[in-house]
Amino acid sequence: MHEQVTHDEPDLLSFGVRIDSARDAAQLRWLIAHASARDIRLAAAGLCARRAPSPQQVIAALGLERRGRRRSEPVPLALAQALARKRQQGWREAP
């Protein structure tokens, strides 16, 4: 999923961070506002194994904490099952 980038916004894909959803894009935009592009790219490169790290992983690697509203609606069953499969394959979400 690729979003349209405005002229005022950097190319989100250029940071080496995996963007799978609108939430990931929003987190990366937050990260860009709170850390330098160089630090984001270095952290992403350091976390990269088989695929690019998620924005959450880069935020954690840089020691930043994103505060805000938590999702109040339940996680859809398909998403919960996909996350369970990822964990079984060795992928863990950042703390």
3-state helix, strand, coil in the chain (%, to 5): 50, 0, 50
> Has residue 47 been placed in a domain?
yes
> Has residue 7 been placed in a domain?
no
Burial of 48 (0-12, 13-18, 19+ CB in 10 A): middle
> Has residue 71 been placed in a domain?
yes
pLDDT tens digits along 26-40: 999 999 999 999 999
For residue 26, what are the domain limits?
A: 12-88
> Has residue 73 been placed in a domain?
yes
pTM for this model (two decimals): 0.50
> Has residue 5 been placed in a domain?
no
> Has residue 94 been placed in a domain?
no
Q: How many domains does the chain have?
A: 1
pLDDT tens digits along 43-59: 888 887 667 788 888 88
Q: Strand, coil or helix: what is 20?
A: coil
> Has residue 68 been placed in a domain?
yes
